Chains A and B, each alone.
Chain A
């Protein structure tokens, strides 16, 4: 039995706390969040909080974003004072996360199912760090020659397959994250951090690397790679930024600024590819000289 009621985590160099016995129990139970436990010296720097509560969530107003993914429905809405994320599984379990605009305290109420809690934390972390030049990017991230490369694409395109091919055929390449690495602009440079959100691949690393390139993947009968213009890069990157934040102007403004910063510093490519060794070698050799 873990009776700690507050835990501190540092992800993407942002420290936050999680309060509540059951909530802490869920995170403590798994080795993924444990890797991100904050140092004692960082705890005082906590920027925001997640708190388990038995309160009733505020009423939902205007719908911002709706998604049904497998067995879970996600509703992101405005409330009279801020925002609310409602998750509802087909089995009837629900979890709500809400916050008042500008407030650093987020409340969680409902069924503390692992999957819903992880998503709520991803969502809340994203909301809180948006204004601090931080964004999660749906991608598989490989590290090679001390730099990070993001591979982007719709689900099922073969991002994880491509980074697996790098690991198998490119000496020194390792995976940083397989679903949602954290991008952060610090002192004018774009950095990529590992995170506890890595899809189906248990790859939870606390390292950070400079972002060297972004590569959008698509399936093709042959391997071909080309550099993208700024506009093409915008179209390549944009869909991989968190969709729920794209439809609310106040949330999209900081995202849009980050897209601009990234595109002015980091080259973007399109790789049409087969799931084979040659594809990994082509992208490696094209990016090697960056």
Chain B
């Protein structure tokens, strides 16, 4: 999977959000908000082809959590972003 290159990460008044700037028909009012760990994954993985293992590894390295927890968190992160088009399957 990969991060949708049309989605731009922006800092707005202390919040991290993602805005879809894909085409003139996208609904710009659909805004995705990221917490610190979701943002970390986004920034590390943007521009790359990755799998859940890659995302989980980043979480393990950064936060020192066990692999099982990291896989659960990474899967949830990817699923949520896939659902709103922030992550593309191929």
Partners in one complex: yes
In the A-B complex, the 10 residue pairs with the smallest Cβ-Cβ separation, listed nearest first, are A264-B13, A263-B13, A260-B12, A230-B13, A235-B29, A260-B13, A256-B10, A230-B15, A65-B24, A247-B24
CB pair A235 B31 closer than 8 Å:
yes
Known contacts A231-B17, A234-B17, A235-B29; is A259 also within 8 Å of B24 by CB? no
Task: Determine if B64 is an interface residue (Cβ-Cβ < 8 Å).
Answer: no
For B29, give the chain A residue with the smallest CB separation: A235
| Interface size of B as a range | 10 to 19
Contact flags A230-270 to B (C-beta < 8 A → 1, else 0): 11011100110000001101001000100111011000000
Contact call A238/B29, Cβ cutoff below 8 A: yes
> Chain B, 10-36, contact with A by CB distance < 8 Å: what is the 0/1 string?
111111010101011000110101000
Q: Which residues of B contact A (CB under 8 A)?
A: 8, 10-15, 17, 19, 21, 23-24, 28-29, 31, 33
A230 near B29 with CB under 8 A, answer no
Assess A246 versus B12: contact at CB under 8 Å? Given A231-B31, A238-B29, A239-B28: no
Any chain B CB within 8 A of the CB of A27? Answer: no
The range of chain A's interface size is 20 to 34
Give the number of A-B contacts (CB < 8 Å): 49
The reply to whether B8 and A259 form a contact with Cβ atoms under 8 Å apart is no
Q: Which of A10-27 contact B (CB under 8 A)?
A: none
Could you jot down 9 A-B contacts, CB within 8 Å? A64-B24, A66-B24, A230-B12, A230-B15, A231-B31, A235-B31, A238-B31, A246-B21, A247-B21
A157 and B69 CA atoms in complex are apart in Å by: 48
**Cβ of A249 and Cβ of B8 under 8 Å apart?**
yes
> Within the assembled complex, what's the spacing in Å between the Cα atoms of A264 and B12?
8
- For A230, list chain B residues within 8 Å (CB): 12-15
In whole Å, how far is A174's beta carbon from the nearest beta carbon of chain B? 30
Chain A contacts for B10, CB-based, 8 A: 256, 260
Contact A256–B19 (Cβ < 8 Å): yes
Q: A231-B17, A264-B14 are in contact. Are A246 and B8 (CB under 8 A)?
A: no
Find the B residue at minimum CB distance from A249: B21
